[in-house]
Amino acid sequence: SDKMAINSIPEEASLTLGVRVPQGGEYTIRWDSQVFEKTVLLHDQASDEIIDMLENASYTFTTATGGEINDRFSISFAPAIVTNLIKVDTINQQIRILSRQNAIVLEGLNGSSAIQLYDLLGRHIHGGFTQGGTYQIPVPNKGIYIVEIKNENSTVKTKIIYQ
């Protein structure tokens, strides 16, 4: 029930988040800031989940024991970047493409897809496959890139600005 604050936000950094709980049980970490110009990601190493705190605002976790938990959570901040929403009509899915710290992230992929990343000169930067869900593409530098998503029903190409 105690409220804590992060009063200074480092530029594109990750911080360990220590938590002290009285006993084992269910607890919630909440992000209350409504006006924020950075992406805020909470990483739970125990479940390997990454939660966008600006979208979800809270994260509930369970611990078996009480005491200090100093190596389970980290929180990272990155500039909020352009987000493109794409609706692929032929397979009726919405793919969300956004930029995060050193990566372009594709969310909402359905089924098997081939993912390609090109720079504006058409040079191939990255290629991979996914079975759906979320796919992360490492990005070497800031710039404008072309993301291609190809599955058995369609091919989508879109431009994304990575800042």
Question: pLDDT digit string (tens) for 60-108?
Answer: 999 999 999 988 998 887 655 544 444 445 455 677 777 776 788 888 7
Question: pLDDT digit string (tens) for 3-16?
Answer: 666 666 666 667 88
Write down the pLDDT at residue 74.
87
| Single pTM value for the model | 0.49
Task: Tally the C-alpha atoms within 13 A of residue 64's C-alpha that lie toward its C-beta.
Answer: 1
CA distance 86 to 37: 23
Residue percentage of the chain with pLDDT more than 90: 18
Nearest C-alpha neighbor of 39 from the set 6, 73, 68, 82: 82
pLDDT greater at residue 156 or residue 118: 118
Residues 6+ apart with CB under 8 A from 115: 106, 126, 127, 128, 129, 130, 135, 137, 147, 148, 149, 150
Write down the pLDDT at residue 82.
45
Contact, 107 vs 117, CB < 8 A?
Answer: no
Residue 124 — pLDDT band, cuts 50, 70, 90? very high
Contact, 116 vs 127, CB < 8 A?
Answer: yes
Coil, strand or helix: which one is 154? coil
Write down the pLDDT at residue 90.
47
